[in-house]
Structure 1
């Protein structure tokens, strides 16, 4: 069951990532620490990709962070404002210095995907709470 949905727009600048991470932590507080950590990590990867590879990172660009809370999971997404290519999880390569972020998210998430939206695309992932770890009050 959905507990709530939140979204916030950020400037397409890497300096905004700290604010985007704080936004996810604040609205998803109370979920199990591991799920919350993974959700913040995924959102950071999605937003970084939006800034580096889409119109969102151009001067005046923006990206939107979306958080949907469920009783037992967190869904995070980032909407970018368009690019010529679509995000894909590349094969893991231990020698590569970049390009592994989506593969990492794919391994950590219960499910993830990319949806075309009117302004660009939404990259999203779902992270279930781990009942073994228990809920936390707020701080990851």
Structure 2
């Protein structure tokens, strides 16, 4: 059985690659849950990775046949860095105004609301979209 973040006494980092298909977004959420365990921030981190992985599949070459995306989780005592690596595309992720009836375009607004900060590093060849999530000390509610 893999250790969860609750059982670790030091900083720990997990990385995993996923095929660039929609069912793998669920696998990415499971990967986050396996890392964080039953911490109060698990639901937020799962939602953030779901949004970022979905964007990677929809808007980059990661979603093309044979494409892949990666997820990296790195936690300290009070901060989780969650990053999704994609295979790049013609446009960079950015906040956009979504129409009231438009179901797309809201994901990064959600990420911005749920995280301390988020950003993008890279270019059309490959990007990392990262988010910082505040962690409550182990054993404490968020």
> What is the aligned residue count?
132
Residues 8 and 64 of structure 1 are in contact (CA less than 8 Å); yes or no, is this contact kept in structure 2? yes
3-state SS of 1:82 partner: coil
Give the TM-score, by structure 2 length.
0.83
Residues 22-61 of structure 1 mapped to structure 2, 5 A cutoff = 22-29=30-37, 31=39, 33=40, 35-61=41-67
Partner of 1:114: 120
The aligned residue for residue 3 of structure 2 is none
Distance in 2 of aligned mates of 1:5 and 1:80? 19
SS in 2 for 1:134: coil
> Could you say what the CA RMSD is over the residues aligned between the two structures, in angstroms?
2.2
Structure 1: which 4+ aligned runs deviate by more than 6 Å?
none
Gaps of 5+ in 2: 1-9
Q: CA deviation at 1:27?
A: 1.1
1:115 to partner: Cα distance: 0.7
TM-score normalised by L of structure 1? 0.84
Q: Contact between 2:20 and 2:57, CA under 8 Å: does it hold in 1?
A: yes
